[in-house]
Structure 1
Amino acid sequence: MLPDPHGGTAAKRVKTTLRITARPILLGLGIMLVAFNMRPALTTVGPLLERIRAETALSAAGAALLTTLPVLCIGLACTLGPWVMRRLGSDRGVLLAVAVVALGSGLRGLGGLGPLFVGACLAALGIGLSGVLLPGLVKRDFPGLTGVVTGLYTMVLCLGAAAGAGLSVPLADGLGSWPAALALWAVPALAATLAWAPFARAPETAPGAARRISLWRDRLAWQVTGFMGLQSSLAYIMFGWLPLVLHDRGLSAVEAGFVSSLMSIGQAPAALLVPSFAARVRDQRGFAAGLLALCVLALVALVYGPLAWALPIGMLLGAGLGGLFGLGLTIIVLRARDPSTAGSLAAMSQSVGYTVASLGPLSFGLAHDLTGTWAASTALFCTIAAGAFLCSLGAGRDRYVGKA
């Protein structure tokens, strides 16, 4: 064994080098596993909503509440993000978040409305917390690859959403129980918890990591928040209501769930590509305008167009939604100077943003109940998209939040 001039051996140096080189790869894989579990708890309920209502006598208002409460809980969890970062650190915070997702998903298997609502809210708390923490981790550990890594984990997130939407009905049919089908999604969340455990290190102690940043009086931060919240509202409306819209138009529950799954699959390529390209340019406003227009046109076509085109149009709608979500996360990273600011902006934009977003599914459902058609709901969707466009005019500019 060759001696090491620094007091070790060549073998030890090689081992250390391999460990240092491997960590970013393993960390990236861990982020992908966590990201996969950030949507199934939300997308698995929509395709089973009619079955749940039939077996539990859940009212239309209760169904609207079931699609709204989890989004509110995501917003609540986002407000806890800065506190968790200071007390536990981002890495341990992600471990806590994905463990809570596993617990909430499993709780839904107990059956009945109580466990369903409580489990959905718990899982949403974990989803919201992980959503706040991941942008800061990307900024910290992949400073030169923010667009690529953001695109990758957003794509995997969309694949998780697609799996949840597409497999819910077949799993419920195969198991003979919708609670069992919902509880089964605790398994991948538990796997992600175990995979992330090696990265659960102590809180950062560097001065920049401990610095607290307030953005509540920053105009650009509010524009980012508005864009994040309103584009998220469009996605949550579709997660919760698209299967029912298509079912009312004449598709079976399985067919409607399949279109919803394809919508989620359609999100993946755009979620991968949009952040990668958007991070390379100085201005992201054009991306926002094009993606919002695509979403509006696709929904109008699904509500009023021929059902024969539902599958490809559903995928186009997914591409628009996935691209917008990836763009929103990318804008958070691009508008921040450092990981600490990225964490603060993520917490603000997602806590307020998801609270605003929660009103979308509720309003969409109530508009349908009041009018008996989907026309008013479609108009509401278009109005939200217009609001997101106005916010993007500021959020997409090449500027930083906070004072230099």
Structure 2
Amino acid sequence: MTTGSTGVKLVVEGMRCQNKCARRIREALEDIPGVASADVRFQGKSATITFTSPQTSVSVVELIQAVRGLDAGLNKSYDAYLPGDDRRARTVVLDVDGMSCMMNCARKVESALATAAGVKSAKVDFDLKQATVVIEPGSRITEDDLIDTVQGAGKKFVASVQVSSPRVVVPTSPAVPILPSLSSSTTPPTTNSHASISIKEHPADSSSSRVTIAVSGMTCNSCANSVESALRATAGVESCVVNFATESASVKFVPSTIGIRSLIEVVEGIGYGAAVATTSAVVQSDDNRQIDIATWRSTFVVALVFTFPILIVMMLLDNIAPISRGLRTQVFHINGSTWNDLVLFLLATPVQFYCGRRFHIDAWKGVRNRVLGMAFLVSMGTNAAYFFAVFSDLRCLYLGDASFSVP
């Protein structure tokens, strides 16, 4: 840390140790352009971020999102906020341009914001061209997510943050530092309770753009982390936030280095579907969820049609002596074969490979991305049982004795 540098202090919750948790948060903060160093303390639940120069401007939202975006483990999460923030709830006021009427446009924007994940309530004032959004406590939704939601509700809508966690500009005058000087001077800091901090909001850099990508195929937060890591590691991507709940990725990138088509190819390259979001991420997520429900319902019906006869054969017919003897007879006089094995094979195969195809596909994606979830467990367990049964049947045919079908 250099003498005279200034920075910002955050409260960090969710850390469980100094060695791993604090170190991971420190590395994530120091990866942000403009940050010289970060001092993360597990005991004090704090992170002190120092900028590279007094003229450096760093987004508080970007600092907070860098902490919240880290994977803290199963059912765990990190949270970061300014020391003076109200943790019960926070309010964001957006300026919304492009609304031409109250009945349609304003209500459309209000509905999109109100249904966004993590939003407690939303109210649009058509006369003032403003939207007031109350965010639920502990929600990870950011101002950029709200802006994407508004702009996703209609191509003509343009939103910007008026009141929220703004962009912090380190003042050039030492009279009002964000943090006391980190020099070894023994001069005590000023304790004027009315001292103010110079905080301004700047428009986004014209050299960068932002796009929201609808991501399909994610089954858990580990999938979202994989997509986010892949995008962040791509040259030309400045920041990326993947929201598993809304199945969307908000990416800030440099158009001169990488294009939207390339971003989509990065996501598709690790096994997930991707497309530019043309509607609200929340609305699109609902549509995808309805499609998934219909797909799973039809798959369940097909599985039921094939597995119910298996249940009848094994639990009922196998206990009726005449029928059981008939099922144990050879198929076309082939030694080692039985009608029972053939019927069960024909009924089980469609269930294993057609009805269970989603689990096998997701399991393969997980293996490729080194993320083994519940789909991998289901696929591995059912494949082990199925192929062992096939192996037993083939062994019976090879030995010419059907009795070997029972291990």
TM-score above 0.5, yes or no = no
Structure (1 or 2) with the greater strand fraction: 2
TM-score for both structures, normalised by structure 1: 0.23
TM-score w.r.t. structure 2 length?
0.23
Mark the structure with the bigger radius of gyration.
Answer: 2
